Amino acid sequence: MKKSTLLLLALPLLLPVAARAVDGSDVLVVRTSGGDKPNVIDEVRRIDFAGDKVNVVYRDTQAATATYAFDDVSAIAFNLLPTGVEAVTAGKPDDAALLLRVMSDGNVLKVSGWDSARQATLEVFNLQGMTLARLAGWHGQDVDVSDLPAGVYVVKIGNKAAKFIK
């Protein structure tokens, strides 16, 4: 009996903040012991934390500020309505992702996703930022990494970078 009563009392604390402005606008919700206080985000200029107070300052100078005791605020949440989903585009050919694979013998690094008609400088760095290899005029061919000890490395090709583990 006590467990079910405790659960019923705690349930409102576990539920997400669900306040929404009447017109469906995005809101900033300040949760206090007195309940949730929704504020339309477009009307809020800033939130100040000053001493033992939390001040929600509004854009309209007539509305001024909503002030809450810091100890009384249990959460500040932003309830946002998604406005849409951006279309995913393939982009330019040079925006393709690089895929790095070290062959099972550990001596050859294969790079996929690079247009072999393009020339670039390939550089291999350790995690300390030291350049361990530099190939000017690289066109996508396999890279000999037999001289590198086992570890994690960063490969930079033109303006793209990727990690690999040997």
Whether 75 and 97 map to the same domain: the answer is: no
Q: Do 51 and 106 reside in the same domain of the chain?
A: no
- Look over the chain and give the mean of its residue pLDDT values, rounded to a whole number: 77
The answer to whether position 111 is within a domain reads: yes
Q: What pLDDT score was predicted for residue 138? A: 92
Lowest mean per-residue pLDDT among 27-31, 63-67, 129-133, 143-147:
63-67
Residue 97 located in a structural domain: yes
Instruction: Give the domain range for residue 56.
Output: 19-79
78-102 tens-digit pLDDT: 777 665 555 544 445 555 577 888 8
Do 109 and 73 sit in the same domain of this protein? no
On whether both 54 and 116 belong to a single domain, the answer is no
Q: Are residues 98 and 157 in the same domain?
A: yes
Whether residue 115 sits in one domain with residue 52: no
pLDDT given at position 63: 64
On whether both 60 and 107 belong to a single domain, the answer is no
**Separation CA 71–CA 49 (nearest Å):** 12
Domain identity same for 104 and 156: yes
Model pLDDT, residue 123:
94
Residue 15 has pLDDT above 60, yes or no: no
What's the pLDDT tens digit per position in 120-158?
Answer: 999 999 989 999 999 999 998 999 999 999 888 999 988
Paired strand residues for 131: 125
- What is the b/e burial string over 125-139, where b = at least 16 CB atoms within 10 angstroms of the residue's CB? beeeeeeebeeeebe
In a domain, 7, yes or no: no
Count of domains for the chain: 2
Three-state DSSP class for 25? coil
Residue 86 within any structural domain of the chain: no
Number of Cβ within a 10 Å radius of residue 94? 12
Lowest mean pLDDT among 12-16, 28-32, 77-81, 140-144: 12-16
As given in the structure block, the two tokens for residue 126 are 């350790």
